[in-house]
Amino acid sequence: MIDKDALLKRFISYVTTYTESDPASDTTPSTECQWDLARQLRDELEAMGMTEVTIDENAYVMATLPSNVDYEVPVIGFVAHFDTTPDFTGKDVKPQIWENYDGGDLMLNKEQNIVLSPDYFEDLKQYKGQTIVTTDGTTLLGADDKAGITEIMEAMQYLLANPQVKHGKIRVGFTPDEEIGRGAHKFDVDKFGAAWAYTMDGSQIGELEYENFNAAGAVVTIEGKIVHPGYAKGKMVNSMYIATDYINSLPRLETPEHTSDREGFFHLHNIEGSVDSTKLEYIIRDHDKGHFEARKAMMVQLAGELNAQLEKELVTVEVKDQYFNMREKVEPVMHIVDIAEEAMKALDIEPLIKPIRGGTDGSQLSFMGLPCPNIFAGGHNFHGRYEYVPVESMMKAVEVIVKIAELTAQKKA
């Protein structure tokens, strides 16, 4: 059904195009390099015969596959992002293709002794005999989310070439800056014009997700006072010591490395400190809205308690919401999840319906009026040197897109 070689060639062309986003930038896209893949996608969509192909001033790419039935069918969409995370470099990606994986260690980089091992990454074991794509261990791969883009493009190519598969109007959309939380910020939902959509941005085969974290970012700033250490008694205020007290006042076991499933956390991901001033950057996550609000309030409360102890206003906290749990927007239209689940089962894929311990463009889009569950794209170990994707999982994702289109047309409006 799906041309494996064509899919792999397309995927390699995408991951070798540098598209890292930058949270310090205030432009959209946040980096100039993202335009390269955005324009490439526009050109490929036009070349394959898609209609209404557009790219706007912020690099959002959209296109239409026209309906091939003579009755009304809901317009559906598929969305993926083309940026890669700034957490680990995605520059000069050197993909390696491992045919007929034997189930053992993969030596990604002999010189640096970088090994992808099933002894540590147990999920690898389930892909024995398949084709695995990795890097040379010095960069991430970019399957997050160039696997999703590849799958959408291949599905559209297949539907164009196989008009016997009946479907309604399908919209596709590719976004910048998802990895820095801005992927949906300038997405024109009205222009997209779909009743609902699916992000192809999940991990292992079978994933189907319609709930995600409520998310916020917090910046804790501690002001100190620098004085010559030889004359510091009673005068110096070391902001780093106060920062340590703040860090230790938060629940130590409510961190990413100690939580799973729907358990929320506080995550300290960056520190910049000196005697004079220290800045702590946190992300706050929880699936439960009440617990989420309590976490934000706790961070502010702790600052107040420290200031009271110090008898000075030295600690300030700025909290900004980032996105919310899409569950409340998807549950009223659960048939869109049911269709995806039915599509997977029809293809002998076991649906893994679970909450996302993160967020996708879909979480924001759902609150913008476009309900948008998330479907697997096939990759593992995102945002690091051990990222990999089985090609067969990507092929199955293409089949899921096609089957969703077919089932939606069968159900009509």
Task: Report the phi/psi class of residue 223: left, alpha or beta, with left for phi > 0 and alpha for psi in -120 to 50.
Answer: beta
Last residue of some domain: 267, 294, 323?
323
* Same domain flag for 40 and 147: yes
CATH code (residue 128): 3.40.630.10
State whether 222 and 297 are in the same domain. yes
Q: Mean of the pLDDT values across residues 364-371?
A: 95
| DSSP 8-state secondary structure symbol assigned to residue 54 | E
Are both 184 and 252 inside the same structural domain? no
Give the span between the Cα atoms of 149 and 130, in whole angstroms. Answer: 21
- Per residue in 170-205, pLDDT (tens digit) is 999 999 999 998 999 999 999 999 999 999 999 999
Are 58 and 398 contacting, i.e. CB atoms less than 8 angstroms apart? no
Residue that is last in its domain, among 285, 305, 323: 323
What is the pLDDT, as a whole number, of residue 413?
54
Q: Residue 283 and residue 298: Cα distance in Å, rounded?
A: 13
pLDDT beyond 80 at 359: no
Q: Is the same domain home to 283 and 334?
A: no
Q: Is the same domain home to 208 and 227?
A: no
Output the pLDDT for position 40. 98
Residue 379 belongs to what domain range?
Answer: 4-212+325-411
Over residues 43-66, the pLDDT tens digits come to: 999 999 999 999 999 999 999 999
- Residue 152 per-residue DSSP state: H
Closest CA to 351 of 409, 396, 391, 382: 396
How much is the pLDDT for 395?
98
Q: Is the pLDDT of residue 218 over 80?
A: yes
Task: Tell me the C-alpha distance between 178 and 323, whole Å.
Answer: 12
* pLDDT over 90 (residue 322): no
Return the pLDDT at 216: 93
pLDDT score recorded for residue 164: 96
Q: Quick one: the chain helix, strand, coil %, rounded to 5?
A: 35, 25, 40
Question: pLDDT at residue 96 above 90?
Answer: yes
Whether 56 and 179 map to the same domain: the answer is yes
Is 169 found in the same domain as 36? Answer: yes
Strands 114-116 and 277-286: unpaired
- Based on the domain organization, do 53 and 150 belong to the same domain? yes
Rounded Cα distance between 149 and 193, Å, is 19
Q: In this structure, are 175 and 309 located in the same domain?
A: no
Strand partners, 61: 55, 174
Q: How confident is the model at residue 388 (pLDDT cuts 50, 70, 90)?
A: very high
Catalytic residues: 83, 178
The pLDDT score that the predictor gives to residue 181 is 86
pLDDT for 184: 92
288 and 393 together in one domain: no
130 and 223 both lie in a single domain: no
CB 195 within 8 A of CB 74: yes
User: How far apart are alpha carbons 195 and 202 in whole angstroms?
Assistant: 21
- Domain shared by 207 and 229, yes or no: no
> Into how many domains does the chain fold?
2
The last residue of one of the domains, among 297, 323, 349, is 323
* CATH code of residue 272: 3.30.70.360
Please state, in angstroms and rounded to a whole number, the distance separating the CA atoms of residues 112 and 165.
49
